[in-house]
Amino acid sequence: MTAGVTLVPIAPIQNRLWFLDRLTPGTAQYNVCVGYELAGPLDQRALRTALTEVVARHDALRTNYLTVRGRPYAVVRPVVGEVPLPVVRLGPDAERKARAIAAAQAGTPFDLAGEPLLRAHLLAFDATRHVLVLTFHHIAVDDWSLGIVLAELGEIYAASRAGRPLPADPPAPGYAEFAAWQRRALSPGRVAEETAYWQDVLAGASMELPTDRPRGVTASARGGEAPFAVPEPVAAALTALARSDRATPFMVALTALAVLLRGRTGSPDVIVGVPVAGRPGPEFAATVGFFVNTVPVRIDLSAARTFRSALAVVRRALIDALDHSLVPFDRLVAGLGRESGTLVRVACQLLDDQPGPGELRWHDLDVAAWDGVTASAVRTELELHLLRGPGRLHGLACYSTDLFDAATIDLLVAGYLDALASGVNAPDDPLPELPELREPDPAAGDAAGEAGKPPSAPVIVDMRTRRAGKEPS
């Protein structure tokens, strides 16, 4: 099986995905499925050219993962032929059929050792409306990588349609170079130093998040989702508070979550998993691959009396955590003698939203995110994804349906929006002792709906970010 190929150790950050694939073979839990609506006269040949060129440029999209004597190795396959792009003509009941096809693709597992880790399908509604569905295994891409793929597809498609030479390959190292860098960086001494830091920070830490049903010995990855919109005045106040307090918008959003969890758990000491881009420098900004790591941020609000003082606590805790984010999360929890599910029950991130109608154009095509792909799996009990686009801030709460009812998540979302609005509008008011969850205000929901349709679901259900530095935006 390995004759004639060059095997190299995988990046340490990929070990957990490889291990979980071996542990539960045939699962699609780590699939990444995205859809883009293409409006206009589509040139299928140009689109195939663009897909093939993108795969040729990025070694992560041509890599398989073999197991030799119980250890994982990567092998980069050569460029062979055109990337398959089957076209499905939908006919009557097109919307339902399209969503069913996307769900089937999202739910079809990959063979890490023996097949390409990208599948592409083109769904044809009519002559001027198509949806491009791309399905990856998460070991090959993170959310940042999806932005790179989308941008390069557009550049190459437009050049091909216009008869121009294809744009030059980006001056970026391949993912194999990152893997080698990370193996060198994770020296035994550095790992020991980082683990000692986390042992000190997380000593005695635990967060008991109330659930509707008891936690079992094992949990499925079945997930539900609840989209919401942040009213524009609240989003503007969030940005203003971040600027005035030398914080990032993500820090403000995380503070509101910490305040909510403080009330929900009855403890001022909470832990939230936060994504880290994991790219060691700007030279990797155009590299496709899996870089993202998770850090457990411990937030102790026992001395915080106002939202502003809580923000200062979150800012310091997050900066310190990100300064110690090199060790992959699975190795970290193993070094702490903990289980990842008991250490991090809630995760939070802020992402760039997918392009909306009129925001992206490929030559004579209008391109927008398609809302027919939805998240169906989670890897923490509750995930709060905030999606920021031009003039809008939306969100999606993804949750374990083994543990939570949809009605409970609606209450949590309403509570989060309350905590965020009161915090950014009156940051010096006293924090409530135990904020109560209340039913969502139907009028507020209607107003949010008028502000814009909720975006399509985040297409990666683990933690991810789109900034090259350590600090989430």
Q: Which residues of 75-107 are buried (b: 16+ CB within 10 A; e: fewer)?
A: ebeeeeeebebeebebeeebeebbbebbeebbe
Give residue 3's pLDDT.
Answer: 53
Whether 123 has a pLDDT exceeding 70, the answer reads yes
Using the Cα atoms of residue 27, residue 213, residue 434 and residue 235 in order, give the sign of their dihedral.
Answer: positive
pLDDT at 454: 31
Higher pLDDT: 211 or 4? It is 211
Instruction: Give residue 70's region: left, alpha or beta (phi > 0; psi -120 to 50).
Output: left
Higher per-residue confidence, 202 vs 465: 202
Note the pLDDT of residue 469: 36
- What pLDDT is recorded for position 219? 62
pLDDT band at 110 (very low <50, low <70, confident <90, very high): very high
Q: What are phi and psi of 27, to 5 degrees?
A: -90, 150
Distance CA 102, CA 376 (A): 12
| Torsion from C-alpha of 358, 363, 369, 373, nearest 10 degrees | 150
- Beta bridge mates, 399: 224, 382
Angle CA 11–323–380, to nearest 5? 65
> In this predicted structure, what is the pLDDT of residue 223?
82
Q: Give CA separation, 259 vs 313, 411, 412, 436, in Å.
A: 12, 15, 12, 11
- Residue 472: per-residue pLDDT: 46
**Dihedral, 333, 336, 339, 344 alpha carbons, nearest 10:** -60
Q: How confident is the model at residue 459 (pLDDT cuts 50, 70, 90)?
A: very low
pLDDT score of 441? 54
Q: Please report which confidence band the pLDDT of residue 221 belongs to, taking 50, 70 and 90 as the band edges.
A: confident
Check whether 416 has a pLDDT greater than 70. Answer: yes
Residue-wise pLDDT tens digits, 146-166: 999 999 999 999 999 999 988
Residue 437: what pLDDT?
Answer: 57
Of 10-19, 20-29, 315-324, 424-433, the range with the lowest mean pLDDT is: 20-29
Q: Check residue 434 and give its pLDDT.
A: 58
Per-residue pLDDT at 446 exceeds 80: no
Q: What average pLDDT does this structure show over 253-267?
A: 95
